[in-house]
Amino acid sequence: MNMENRFRLQVSLVILLLLGLLAWFAAAFGLDYRFALEKLPLLLGLQLNPEGLLQGVPLTVLLCLVSTLLALVIGLASALGRLSRNPLLYGLATFYNSFFKGTPLLVQILLIYLGLPQLGIVPDAIPAGITALTLCYGAYLSEVLRAAILSIPRGQWEAGKALGMSSRAILRFVVLPQAMRVAVPPAFSLFISMLKDSSLVSVMGLWEIMFLSQSYGRSSYRYMEMLLSAALIYWLLSVVLEVFQHRLETRMAASSRS
Amino acid sequence: MNKQGLINTAAALLPLLLAVPAHAGTTLDRVSNSGELRGVLLESYPPFSFLNSKNQLEGFDVDVVKAVAKKLNVKLKLDTPSWEVIAAGKWGKRWDICICSMTPTREAAQVLDFPVIYYKSPAVLVVNASDKHTSSIKTLDGKKIGVQQGASYERYLQKTLKIEAPGAIQPSFPFSKVNIATYDNEEIIFQDLALGTGKRLDALVSNLNTANERIARGGKFRVAATLYAEPNWVAVDKGDAQWQARVKQVVTELKQDGTLAAISRKWIGSDITQ
């Protein structure tokens, strides 16, 4: 057995032991897990809610997927604004960043959902939720991207200039590809965090995972059972993201060696 | 048009531009034009409104709002925003009615209108079943009492509760000062009280029907005392007198023809709508 395989085996043993401890702790609650199992299809969103809207896992995944993609665009724009010497762009990006990082997401959701109707625009809950998640996580992401861009040595820019490349071309073909590698781990931590923060959209009456588990838990008086099921679902979803992150890192490492 | 004329015209138009708040009849028009009544409800307040095992909303409040929609001869659409969102008012054309066990406190009456009462339910003091002695809130001075944040029970414990309804009997406060523990959700309050008297809580304040529902399901609690009669009213967004009158008329008819009494007997076991 080589060193690498031995290490992997030992890691698996440690993780199995920890999982066992967690299962023991969960069992110590003395909960009725058959009940949670019955409600699982509803949390998984295998059917629509009575108003014909998505519910459970598909709703959470939809909200997070769209918000993540939009946050990448806004985050990159804001990061470039913060690195720009144009006073308007810098001012806009700095203000946006400070406001959406510095105020609670719940307040942002309510500002969009309850505030806009006072101006005559009445957004539905799903677009309002996506807007709030995008703006909030775009601000965090912009800091991650800005730090990643700044981590690329000045020499790279100077080398690009010496080759006669424009600033835009250097950014696009030299700096950003390297910066992305640096940004992947913290960016994925943000995506996982967004996955769980998305439960705040339930204040607008969206039946996402936490909303359903709390509602079923309260109305059937099996609160912990339902919360633990929700926790397990979130964890599995975030493991999917972790696997994706790992693959992306491996691919980027391989392409940078070649 | 001369300059003076322009200013006069502008002055005449200004009030029209500023008159944004709901005009009388807008909600009524919306409901009759769209053929749809949009109600708000809580999703986890058994037996009044909750998600059942078939993923449908049901309960006392749900049946009442269904009966109202039927009487108005329109379709019903139900939304479940959080209590804070409902109670903030300024619904911005989103919703038409809230039959969701709301008490017209002074604060609520500032942001919502309350056209008609539909049931009364006593607010009660609940203790752990092992506490055989407590029979009044008088003896709980300095003790820790759990209550849901934003509920009228919280204002009762702060001794600031005032019910803004015609003919309402105002509660009395026969205690000097209790230690109020506010919770985000009622489930956790009951769980903390279930740990035993004095562990985290000495008592809690809730509604007789929700407390009885829990005791019936094997909760180790005891209703120690009735605190005050809590009237629950239908709530609508501020400023539409015609809609209020229509809602009042419909609910009164439902009371008279026995629909409300039947719904009450189905969910509560007795008639709390009189």
Distance, in Å, from the CA atom of B242 to the CA atom of B250, rounded to the nearest integer, reads: 12
The pLDDT score that the predictor gives to residue B20 is 44
Among B55, B85, B186, select the one facing A49 at the smallest CB separation: B55
Closest CA to A202 of A129, A136, A112: A129
Is B84 close to A203, i.e. CB distance below 8 A?
A: yes
Q: How far is A202 from chain B (nearest CA, A)?
A: 7
CB < 8 Å to A118, chain B: 90, 92
- pTM of the shown model: 0.81
ipTM higher than threshold 0.95: no
Q: How far is B141 from chain A (nearest CA, A)?
A: 30
B15 band by pLDDT with thresholds 50, 70 and 90: very low
pLDDT higher than 70, residue B2: no
Is B44 close to A218, i.e. CB distance below 8 A?
A: yes
ω into residue B47 within 30 of 0, thus cis? yes
Find which of B34, B36, B80 to mutate to test the A interface (most A CBs within 10 Å of its CB): B80
Is A215 close to B50, i.e. CB distance below 8 A?
A: yes
B24 band by pLDDT with thresholds 50, 70 and 90: low
Q: What would the pLDDT profile of B184-226 be if each residue is shown by its tens digit? A: 888 889 989 999 999 999 999 999 988 998 999 888 999 999 9
Q: Are B181 and B201 in contact (CB under 8 A)?
A: yes
- The chain A residue lying nearest B49, using CA atoms, is A219
- Please provide residue B145's backbone torsions phi and psi, each rounded to the nearest 5 degrees: -120, 125
The pLDDT score that the predictor gives to residue B23 is 57
CB < 8 Å to B62, chain A: none
CB crowding A150-183: b at 16 or more within 10 Å, else e = eebeeeebeebeeeebeeeebbeebbbebbebbb
- Please provide residue B218's backbone torsions phi and psi, each rounded to the nearest 5 degrees: 95, 10
Instruction: Tell me whether B93 touches chain A (CB under 8 Å).
Output: yes
